[in-house]
Amino acid sequence: MKNIYLDNAATTPILPEIIDTISTTMATVYGNPSSTHQIGRKARALVETARKNIAKYFNASANEIVFTAGGSEADNLILRNAVVNLGVTTIISSKIEHHAVLHTIENLVKEFDIVVKWVDLNEKGEINYTHLKELLQEDTSKKMVSLMYINNEIGNILNLKLVSDLCLQNKALFHSDTVQGVGHFKIDIQKTPIDFFVASAHKFHGPKGVGFAYIKKGYGIFPILHGGEQERGARAGTENVHSILGMEKALQIAYTNLDKEVIYIQNLKNYFVKELKSNFQGIEFNGVSEDEFKSSYIILNVRFPKEYAMLLFNLDMKGIAVSGGSACQSGSHKGSHVLHTILSKNDALKTSVRFSFSKLNTKEEIDYVIKNLKEILK
């Protein structure tokens, strides 16, 4: 049986070069970066070099990068600090954000006297930027806008520059969950001055359990994990040295070959769209995931014309790994909150599948998926 992995929005395979980096670091750099002896200093030097190199990809400063255990922790760190330490009393967000943002906001509402305003979306899940502007101008409260760059389920791309400009004009902070963007799209915070964004290494062929928060210089950040003074006091706990170096290597590889790989993966996605349309009547695409200019080249969310209760299971039995929604909801019977928000009741009952691609996929794999879909659905 073949193994066809088309769930790269959930996580990506670790590249061999990154495994080598991690293994070598684990074997040779065992010092605690907080120790003052030379073995500890060696570890500290490598962590700080990685921080500096990672910052360069975003035209940021090294002291604006805080290493975390991943995107969810980074989102929590930023949102909680916005309310507790930066005086934010109004958060503007959308109902199709990742749960790392939605559940954090939900808990902040329970703990503090803050207001949450939801920006309007159309049936494709696109932000109504006019409504966002209206929300920003409604009152004089201290505001933060929290909108994700790339939606992890439907692939919609946020206009970061437009939102950034609106926030600047209205003196609001801007946080973006960029987990699906870092390593796949170029972000220059000098051209697009986002105040806060986040990354998770396993989304761009790096290790799981490590990521970072970008926190614009000048914003004091207090820890949500208490203990030592690591990460300049922003995040307690001994740094995960080998994973940080693995993340640095993964970003290096991602951005070195990015232009060529974008074209390759987009062509794969376009080919898949063409084959789906020519082989299956009634196929539709959730969000704007079919549109190569408005959606991520990695994500395609396909809505079949009716409910196929066992489709994901049958694909899995053929060795094809895909997702019915966000992988972070696996084990939940609630289904995709994103699709339930944007689709009509009738369309939400139909079977939707998220296919997500990487540079490791091939045209032959797409053909295999189409062949098996035809057999399963006939």
Nearest to 244 by CA among 75, 35, 62: 62
- Residues 41-79 pLDDT 10s: 999 999 999 999 999 999 999 999 999 999 999 999 999
Active site residue 328: yes
CATH number of 4-12+258-377: 3.90.1150.10
pLDDT, residue 99, reads: 96
pLDDT at 343: 95
The two structure tokens encoding residue 370? 């189409």
pLDDT at 329 over 80: no
| List 328, 332, 349, 371, catalytic entry | 328
Encode pLDDT of 250-273 as tens digits: 999 999 999 999 999 999 999 999
**C-beta separation of 355 from 302 below 8 A:** yes
Ordered by start, the domain boundaries in the chain are 4-12+258-377, 16-256
Q: Which fold has domain 16-256?
A: Aspartate Aminotransferase; domain 2 (3.40.640)
Q: What is the 3-state secondary structure (H, E, C) of 225-274?
A: CCCCCCHHHCCCCCCCHHHHHHHHHHHHHHHHCHHHHHHHHHHHHHHHHH
pLDDT exceeds 90 at position 81: yes
- Give the predicted TM-score (pTM) of the model: 0.95
Residue with tokens 């060696």: 42
